[in-house]
Chains A and B, each alone.
Chain A
Amino acid sequence: MSARGERFATPVLSTTGPVFQPASALDYIPRTQLEQLQLNRLRAVVERVWARVPLFRSRLDELGIVPEDIRALDDASRLPFTVKTDLRDTYPFGLFASPMRDIVRLHASSGTTGKPIVVAYTGADLEVWSQAMERAFAACGLHDGDIIQNAYGYGLFTGGLGAHYGAERLGATVIPISGGNTDRQIMVMRDFGVTAICCTPSYFLHMVDRAAELDVDLRDLPVRAGVFGAEPWTEAMRVRIEAMAGIKAFDIYGLSEIIGPGVAVECEYQDGLHIFEDHFYPEIIDPETGEPMPTGAEGELVLTTLSKQAMPVLRYRTRDITALLPGPCPCGRTLRRMRRISRRSDDMLIIRGVNVFPSQIESVLLEMEDTMPHYQIILTREHGLDQIEVQVEVTARMFSDTVGALETLHDQLADAMERVLQVRTAITLVEPHTIPRSEGKSRRVIDRRSS
């Protein structure tokens, strides 16, 4: 511990910009070596799921693929895709490739219906995850001696514990404050001398606004970095966050189905996210045809876990739209970069880090009414916090001449929405024929969160 502390103790290191950190060593592995490692691991993962997971076995059999067919990395494109519904259909444990006695952790994420998606980790998986998160923090210029306020939610959500273990492994001091209670967050940030924070970008913007109300100027505090993820955000938000809080804001990417946070992260150049390719094999495909796209072309990100034991996933379709950036990064990492996620290929919405599907909203409306009323989803950002409003056209069946009946209907809808979506939802009852009719589902969503 003391040896590690001394390594970064000299002030010179922190004033001369980025320094090589041992935690990042794997990020600089020569490409040929990396690709050999990826191939070995890819073959091993195909072998593992072929032998242990019936769903993958039957899909591989259908395509006539045996593990020995994986001779080059390009062969990955012959493997079958995995989609979110596969995880839901095999709820809760159907995709596990390890016996329960080897599984030391379960997490769960929200699904498109009431059922969550369950993900599992062996001890070795947790080790890989912690290491990926450690490398992610290191890429953001954090090291031992840093005081990291972890405001990702702790619990079934992978954000909290994923960041926690990575930060501990880095040797940083972790404050496991979890999400919420903004005033306390600001007090802790100020009083504990916090140097880095992780949470969703929208929540941090909320903290920035609240700090201003409390007369706390974040620019005067030691906090110098933010590691923000679990929802898509924009360059404009980064500019705002960095100016208002006096920090560098880094984008981190991950998803529970693959491991949690720590799949990819920005480095000090903040120009694309380096994918931890030794553990997660990325491909970009055309979301319509499923065909692989060339480097640089925009398409859907597909990930294969290369090291996971408990729940390996072949070619998972993330529905996130991005591109793999050509050319090396000036930081020297050999890990390829992906452009920050701008949008999704399906209709999933991410609101305050929570996944919301229009189909969930429809299920609530259908539960209350026999026929689907016309509705529209409006997303806004107030004080940095995502807000969701569902406008519902009142139908003859819903309408009553008494105020009380309509108020009751409104409250029931709002409560049911919150129960299903796990996000407080504003319901607005609107007049018939006032919501534009359209063919596509996407038109039902108006996203005004551009600031």
Chain B
Amino acid sequence: MKVTQLSIFAENKPGHILAPCRLLADNGVDIRALSLADTQRFGILRLIVSGWQAAANLLEEAGFLVRATEVVAVVVPDHPGGLVRVLSAFEGTPINIEYMYAFPFAREERAVLIFRFDDPDAAIERLREAGIAMAERQELFGDDLFGTEAAR
């Protein structure tokens, strides 16, 4: 399923990741997954949070540059070959992965992969065809993980 991810622009300087994280913590926003893309010049902090819309408003009001993007969450068994099976599904297709990151799912022996595709709808269709399970919010994470507007 599609999940809304928040991306925050950060200069590549000491302390610049702390500020947005502290703001979210002070307001009780739970960060479920994150990835930091960094270059020599700047960084992009990508977050999957509970209640993304409220979190985005908080960040924007505090002056951070935030962008909401739809990403695709896929569940894989947490053992060797789990990732390869998903990636193989896109072999020979024009679907491009812009970036991805993973986090383990604590309750079961499974991991969640977050994909940013250039064409998420085509990717979801391809995953369905390949019989690969996408994360279903209620089933896997409980109600609020991806926020109320995340379900498709």
Asked whether any CB of chain B lies closer than 8 Å to the CB of A55, the reply is: no
Query: Do A432 and B44 form a contact, CB below 8 Å, given A401-B5, A402-B116?
Result: no
Q: How many A-B residue pairs have CB under 8 A?
A: 51
Asked whether any CB of chain B lies closer than 8 Å to the CB of A431, the reply is: yes
Would you call the interface of chain B mostly helix, strand, loop, or mixed?
strand
B9 partner residues in chain A, CB cutoff 8 A: 394, 399, 429, 431-432
- Measured CB to CB, the nearest residue on chain B to A407 is B39
- Provide the bound-state CA to CA distance between A396 and B63, in Å: 11
- Provide the bound-state CA to CA distance between A400 and B39, in Å: 14
Asked whether any CB of chain B lies closer than 8 Å to the CB of A430, the reply is: yes
Asked if B99 and A432 sit within 8 Å, CB to CB, the answer is: no
A428 partner residues in chain B, CB cutoff 8 A: 41
Asked if B64 and A401 sit within 8 Å, CB to CB, the answer is: no
- Measured CB to CB, the nearest residue on chain B to A401 is B7
Asked whether any CB of chain A lies closer than 8 Å to the CB of B65, the reply is: yes
- Provide the bound-state CA to CA distance between A410 and B44, in Å: 14
Asked whether any CB of chain A lies closer than 8 Å to the CB of B67, the reply is: yes
Contacting residue for B98 out of A396, A402, A410, A434, CB 8 A: A402
Greatest chain A CB density within 10 A among B42, B64, B69, B99 is at B42
B64 partner residues in chain A, CB cutoff 8 A: 431-432
Q: Mark A404-436, 1 if CB is under 8 A from B, else 0.
A: 101100100000000000000000111111100
**Number of contact residues on B: which range applies?**
20 to 34
- Measured CB to CB, the nearest residue on chain B to A429 is B42
B65 partner residues in chain A, CB cutoff 8 A: 394-396, 399, 431-432
A396 partner residues in chain B, CB cutoff 8 A: 65, 67
Greatest chain A CB density within 10 A among B44, B64, B99 is at B44
Q: Mark B99-138, 1 if CB is under 8 A from A, else 0.
A: 1000000000000000010000000000000000000000
Contacting residue for B41 out of A402, A404, A429, A433, CB 8 A: A429
Q: Mark A376-401, 1 if CB is under 8 A from B, else 0.
A: 00000000000000000011100111
Asked whether any CB of chain A lies closer than 8 Å to the CB of B74, the reply is: no
- Provide the bound-state CA to CA distance between A328 and B44, in Å: 64
Contacting residue for A399 out of B11, B37, B67, B98, CB 8 A: B67
B16 partner residues in chain A, CB cutoff 8 A: 431
Asked if A432 and B67 sit within 8 Å, CB to CB, the answer is: no
Asked if A433 and B67 sit within 8 Å, CB to CB, the answer is: no
B63 partner residues in chain A, CB cutoff 8 A: 432-433
Asked whether any CB of chain A lies closer than 8 Å to the CB of B10, the reply is: yes
- Provide the bound-state CA to CA distance between A433 and B64, in Å: 9
B37 partner residues in chain A, CB cutoff 8 A: 403
Asked if A403 and B44 sit within 8 Å, CB to CB, the answer is: yes
A403 partner residues in chain B, CB cutoff 8 A: 37, 39, 44, 99
- Measured CB to CB, the nearest residue on chain B to A400 is B67
Query: Do A406 and B42 form a contact, CB below 8 Å, given A394-B65, A399-B67?
Result: yes
B11 partner residues in chain A, CB cutoff 8 A: 429-431, 434
B contacts, CB < 8 Å to A:
5, 7, 9-11, 16, 37, 39, 41-42, 44, 46, 63-65, 67, 69, 98-99, 116
A contacts, CB < 8 Å to B:
394-396, 399-404, 406-407, 410, 428-434
Q: Which 9 A-B pairs have the closest CB atoms?
A: A401-B7, A433-B63, A401-B69, A403-B37, A399-B65, A402-B98, A432-B65, A394-B9, A429-B42
12 more A-B contacts (CB under 8 A) besides A402-B44, A403-B99? A394-B9, A396-B67, A400-B7, A401-B5, A401-B7, A401-B69, A402-B116, A403-B44, A406-B42, A431-B11, A432-B64, A434-B11
